[in-house]
C-alpha cells in the first residue's frame, strides 16, 4: 500500500475530531493573513500556551502590516523578547516592508507568491495560503511529519528532503479541496495535543487509534526516524552584572552571529580573566552572583555571574546604564540571561529603596 492509500482513510476521522476538539485561538477566530502569518512565525519552536500573551501584545502594538514595516528595530525586538530566534522577528519586518513598499500594501495571496517573502518557507507559505486564502496546499512541519509517519509506519528519514517531499505530495493528494485550512490545522492540532513527541502520545484519545501503523506494530518510539543529534558544544562564560546608582550596565551584541544586535549583561568566555581591567574597573568591589545555563541549537552556555560595584560611572564605548524601567521597556535582552534577572532586579530595587529612605 502506498503512502497516499494509507492516508486516505484517516482524513475524515481527523476532520471530524478537529471539528470537536479544535482550541479557540485568536488567530483562528479572526484568521486574517497578517494574524495567521505572525502566529505561525511565533509558533515555530514555541508552544501555543506560551505564544498567546506575546501574540496579544504584538497585535496591540503592531495591528497592521504597515505598523510592522515602520516600527523601530529595538521596539520590535522588545516585543519579541522571550520568544527567542530574533532573526524571525527581523524577517517579519523585512517581509512587511516587501508587502508595504514593493507590493503597494497588497498581501500575497497564493502559496507561490508567499514564498517570495523574507523568512517564509514552504511550511509557513502553506499554512497562510490554506488557512487565510483557502488554497489547497499542505503545510508540513515537524509535528505533521511525526503524526503522518506514525499513522502510516513510514520509516523514511524525516530530515531528508525526499521524505518530506513524498509526504507532502501524498497529503496534497488526499486533502479535502474545500477544507484545506481545517485539514492542515487538524494535523498540527493532533501533533500538539495528542500525538505528542518523545514517546508520550495519548493514543486512547486519538481519532486514528484503529488505523495507526505505529500503534499496531509497537514502533511509536522509533518514529519518526531522524539521525542522532550532534553533541552541543559547551562554553563556560562569566557574566558581569555591573551596578551603579540604581542602574546596571548593558552592551549591544555585535551585528553578526548569535543573538546579533540584542542587548546583554557584559560577558566573556571563561578563558579571559582580565575583563574588568580591560573595562577600567580593576579596582571595583565584586561579589559572586547566580549561575545559569542556556541551551541554544548548537551551543550551551554555562554561566557564572559576578556582581561588580565600580567606583566611577565610566563605561566602555557603546555601553549604557539602564534603570529598571529601561530594562523593562527599552532594551531587548535575550532570555539566555533570564537567570540573572532576579538578582539584577533585587539590586536595583535595593538602591531605589535606599534612595527613597535617604530622601
Is residue 147 a contact residue for ligand SF4 (CB under 6 A)? yes
37-45, 127-135, 213-221, 234-242 -> range binding ligand SF4 (CB under 6 A): 213-221
Is residue 203 a contact residue for ligand SF4 (CB under 6 A)? yes
Instruction: Name the residue among 136, 113, 139 with its Cα closest to residue 126.
Output: 139
CA dist 21 and 239 (Å) reads: 46
C-beta closer to ligand SF4: residue 187 or 303: 187
Is 313 one of the annotated active-site residues of the chain? no
Is residue 215 a contact residue for ligand SF4 (CB under 6 A)? yes
Enclosing H/E stretch for 303: strand 299-309
* Angle in degrees, 0-180, between the axes of helices 48-61 and 73-80, rounded to the nearest 10: 150
DSSP H helices in the chain: 3-7, 11-21, 26-29, 33-43, 48-61, 65-70, 73-80, 86-97, 111-114, 122-133, 142-152, 161-174, 180-193, 213-217, 275-278, 324-329, 341-358
Q: Which is the catalytic residue, given 40, 135, 189, 264?
A: 40
Binding mask 159-198 for ligand SF4 (x = CB under 6 A): -----------------------------------xx---
- State residue 103 phi and psi, 5-degree precision: -115, 15
Secondary structure class of 66 (helix, strand, coil): helix
Among 172, 220, 225, 268, binds ligand SF4 (CB under 6 A): 220
Is residue 212 a contact residue for ligand SF4 (CB under 6 A)? yes
Is residue 151 a contact residue for ligand SF4 (CB under 6 A)? yes
Q: How far is the CB of 206 from ligand SF4 (least distance, A)?
A: 3
CB 182 within 8 A of CB 233: no
Is residue 206 a contact residue for ligand SF4 (CB under 6 A)? yes
Q: How far is the CB of 185 from ligand SF4 (least distance, A)?
A: 16
The contact set with ligand SF4 (CB under 6 A) reads 147, 150-151, 194-195, 201, 203, 206, 208-209, 212, 214-215, 220
Residues assigned a catalytic role: 40
Amino acid at each position: 500500500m502506498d503512502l497516499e492509500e494509507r492516508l486516505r482513510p484517516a482524513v475524515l476521522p481527523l476532520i471530524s475530531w478537529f471539528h470537536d476538539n479544535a482550541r479557540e485561538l485568536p488567530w483562528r477566530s479572526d484568521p486574517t493573513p497578517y494574524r495567521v502569518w505572525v502566529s505561525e512565525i511565533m509558533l515555530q519552536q514555541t508552544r501555543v500556551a506560551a505564544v498567546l500573551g506575546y501574540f496579544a501584545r504584538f497585535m496591540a502594538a503592531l495591528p497592521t502590516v504597515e505598523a510592522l514595516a515602520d516600527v523601530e528595530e529595538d521596539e520590535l525586538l522588545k516585543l519579541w523578547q522571550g520568544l527567542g530566534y530574533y532573526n524571525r522577528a527581523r524577517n517579519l519586518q523585512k517581509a512587511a516592508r516587501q508587502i508595504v513598499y514593493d507590493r503597494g500594501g497588497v498581501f500575497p495571496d497564493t502559496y507561490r507568491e508567499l514564498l517570495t517573502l523574507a523568512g517564509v518557507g514552504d511550511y509557513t507559505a502553506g499554512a497562510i495560503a490554506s488557512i487565510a486564502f483557502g488554497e489547497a496546499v499542505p503545510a508540513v512541519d515537524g509535528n505533521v511529519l511525526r503524526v503522518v509517519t506514525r499513522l502510516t509506519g513510514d520509516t523514511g528519514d524525516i530530515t531528508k528532503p525526499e521524505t518530506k517531499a513524498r509526504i507532502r505530495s501524498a497529503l496534497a493528494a488526499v486533502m479535502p479541496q474545500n477544507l484545506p485550512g481545517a485539514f492542515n490545522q487538524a494535523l498540527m492540532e493532533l501533533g500538539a495535543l495528542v500525538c505528542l513527541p518523545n514517546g508520550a502520545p495519548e493514543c486512547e484519545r486519538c481519532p486514528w487509534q484503529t488505523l495507526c501503523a505505529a500503534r499496531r506494530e509497537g514502533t511509536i518510539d522509533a518514529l519518526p526516524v531522524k539521525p542522532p543529534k550532534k553533541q552541543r558544544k559547551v562554553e563556560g562564560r562569566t557574566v558581569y552584572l555591573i551596578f551603579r546608582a540604581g542602574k546596571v550596565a548593558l552592551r549591544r551584541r555585535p551585528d553578526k552571529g548569535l543573538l546579533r544586535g540584542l542587548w546583554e549583561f557584559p560577558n566573556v568566555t571563561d578563558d579571559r580573566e582580565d575583563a574588568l581591567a580591560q573595562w577600567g574597573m580593576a579596582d571595583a568591589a565584586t561579589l559572586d552572583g547566580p549561575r545559569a545555563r542556556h541551551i541554544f541549537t548548537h551551543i550551551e552556555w554555562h554561566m557564572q555571574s559576578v556582581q561588580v560595584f565600580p567606583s566611577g560611572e565610566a563605561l566602555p564605548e557603546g555601553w549604557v546604564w539602564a534603570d529598571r524601567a529601561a530594562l523593562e521597556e527599552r532594551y531587548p535582552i535575550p532570555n539566555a540571561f533570564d537567570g540573572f534577572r532576579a538578582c539584577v532586579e533585587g539590586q536595583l530595587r535595593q538602591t531605589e529603596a535606599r534612595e527613597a529612605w535617604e530622601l
